[in-house]
Structure 1
């Protein structure tokens, strides 16, 4: 995902995040059929576990940024660059239990984001404290997290080519 300033529109920010998570979970529901072959996207590879990890980490990283800025604290930059890393755990089969865990985790993160965003005024969304993108721009940047899930894709068609 590029670091250029995200384009925003008039959609409710909370809805932008929840729809992104719904999309990811809809795709994840098909990933128990994954054949174990990583999927190449651009110069990186993705697996179901890595896609879930990246979406989750992205939500947590930017939530930490929003909360720190609202509190007037410095943000802690991500130094791991996890999108470039594929761990042995990322290569494990994606099971029904993994899907249940992803649903639980991402649904709770969706609720946290929606709760935070609905409490912010339009002015806070568009003239956010501290340095960096506005909170509205962060939300629309997060919407791009579908990239990770889309890289793995819909695996509901057994034996489909990717």
Structure 2
């Protein structure tokens, strides 16, 4: 199936489209990270730092976490407890130089995860998207993932901050 075969990216009729759009925005920004000088970006509160690799890792983890949540909800079983350290932790690997190969790998990983999420929602069907549940509806999960927040923390490295 090609992307062209999917419904138009209107969130009312395809809530997963926003997830793919957020990943596309992340990857657009990631192109500007190839010349990263190794200086992390500090959050507004000063309690978290962000690097290109950390953004890609967190975006993938975030997609995977919520994909697992959606699968558990649809299967009628409890979701796995969230034990991620999330963006509080910055690993040594997060400080590695961000190369074209890293960008290519990120593109493959993130676009596949976002597409899998979108296709899962489409397969679940419209009747499931807004069904009341304990916690968020499937549409609310998709809306939550329809942001490139992590990537925006690093931003466009062609522009000074």
Q: TM-score normalized by structure 2?
A: 0.86
Q: Which residue of 2 aligns with 1:28?
A: 30
2:40 paired with 1:41: no
Q: Counterpart of 1:161?
A: 160
Deviation >6 Å, runs of 4+: none
Partner residue in 1 for 2:58: 54
Q: Could you say what the CA RMSD is over the residues aligned between the two structures, in angstroms? A: 1.5
Which residue in 1 is equivalent to 2:84? 80
Q: Does structure 1 retain, via aligned residues, the 8 Å contact 2:20–2:118?
A: yes
Q: Displacement, 1:11? A: 6.1
More contact order relative to length (CA 8 Å, sep ≥ 6): 1
The one of 113, 124, 129 equivalent to 2:117 is: 113
Gaps of 5+ in 2: 1-10
The DSSP-based 3-state class of the residue aligned with 1:13 is coil
Superimposed CA distance per residue, residues 86-143 of structure 1 (whole angstroms, 9 cap, x where no aligned partner): 0000011101111011001011112211211112322200015x52100000011111
- Matched residues in 2 for 1:55 and 1:29: separation? 15
Superposed displacement of residue 19, structure 1: 0.4
Q: Which residue does the alignment assign to 2:134?
A: 131
Q: Deviations over 1:132-158 (max 9, x none)?
A: 1000000111113x1110111112x2x
Q: How many residues align?
A: 149
Query: Normalising to structure 1: TM-score of the pair?
Result: 0.86
The partner residue of 1:90 within 90, 94, 99 is: 94
Residue 150 (structure 2) pairs with residue 151 (structure 1): no
Give the Å deviation of 1:80: 2.5
